[in-house]
Amino acid sequence: MTKSDIKLIENTKKFVKQSLEKAEAGHDYWHILRVLKSSQKIAEQEGGNLLVVTLGALLHDIADAKFHQGDESVGPKIARDFLQSEQVPEDVINHIIKIIENISFKNSLEGQKFSSLELQIIQDADRLDAIGAIGIARAFVYGGYKNNPIYDPSLKPNLNMDKKTYKKGNTTTINHFYEKLLKLKDLMNTPTGAKLAEDRHRFMLEFLEQFYKEWEV
Ligand code: ADP
Ligand code: NI
């Protein structure tokens, strides 16, 4: 990476940190830093353009549609404006925008329209942060934000949700494990991501086992 790449990354970090100052705990700057670290770790094994991986990871949740009345065009626009202001080459900008547009789980429910090694790496890192102990914590933060019940034994998980239903987010947080979290291990793109997912997946199963045990007391 060149000196100017390093400066660009520094500026991007500052911009993202500031933009996410008031973000909900599951999608805050800490989430971005965790995804960045995992992305870099996966890229060490799998290759991929390090500048695109870094900028894509930093900008992937710059304006999550969940917090913009479902509007999916806000994030890509903010990212494009920022990258243009930093004089990033147009082809790099276009790649990063495609990553932001295609990374999310809900969009994968409709069949993903674009792929690249860099997208696969960041998507794996984002998915790793949705599972394991951190994933559990984030799911309950989101469930609390939506005022969803923790669990209701009379409500069965909806295993084949379409994107619209998924986006509404009306489910119990325990059902969200079956509707998304437990599926992620088999959706990992890269061998390195799949390997890293194993331990986190196992921990979620343990958590659920303990949860039901306590529920039945
Ligand atoms: P993506 O940004 O990949 O589309 P989501 O928006 O589905 O991902 O999820 C972001 C975070 O919020 C994840 O940790 C996810 O598990 C959590 N989350 C999303 N929907 C729910 C829900 N209905 N209940 C609990 N957690 C949820
Ligand atoms: Ni994310």
Q: In this predicted structure, what is the pLDDT of residue 207?
A: 98
Beta-carbon neighbours within 5 Å of ion ligand 2: 61, 126
How many domains are there within the chain? 1
Question: Closest Cα to atom 17, ligand 1: which residue?
Answer: 139
pLDDT tens digits for range 148-171:
999 999 999 998 888 888 888 889
Closest CA to 184 of 168, 172, 200: 200
Q: In this predicted structure, what is the pLDDT of residue 146?
A: 93
Question: Closest Cα to atom 27, ligand 1: which residue?
Answer: 139
pLDDT at position 121 over 90: yes
- Give the tokens for residue 216: 């039945």
The maximal CA–CA distance of the chain, rounded, in angstroms, is: 61
Spell 76-107 as b/e; 16+ CB within 10 A means b.
Answer: bebbbebbeeeebeeebbebbbbbbbbbbbbb
Q: In this predicted structure, what is the pLDDT of residue 178?
A: 97
pLDDT tens digits for range 29-80:
999 999 999 999 999 999 999 999 999 999 999 977 666 777 788 889 999 9
Distances (CA, A) of 77 to 84, 108, 145, 151: 11, 21, 26, 37
Region 76-91: mean pLDDT is 96
Mutate to test the pocket of ligand 1, among 62, 105, 140, 151 (most ligand atoms within 8 A of CB): 105
* DSSP characters over 113-179: ----HHHHHHHHHHHHTTSHHHHHHHHHHHHHHTT--S--TTSPP-TT--HHHHHH--S-HHHHHHH
* Three-class DSSP category at 72: coil
What is the pTM for the complete model shown? Answer: 0.93
Atom from ligand 1 closest to the CA of residue 171: 23
pLDDT at position 108 over 80: no
Residue 201 CB less than 6 A away from ligand 1? no
Atom from ligand 1 closest to the CA of residue 130: 14
Domain membership of residue 94 as a residue range: 3-215
The domain that holds 197 is classified in CATH as: 1.10.3210.50
Least confident span in 46-55, 101-110, 175-184? 101-110
| Cβ atoms of 121 and 102 closer than 8 Å | no
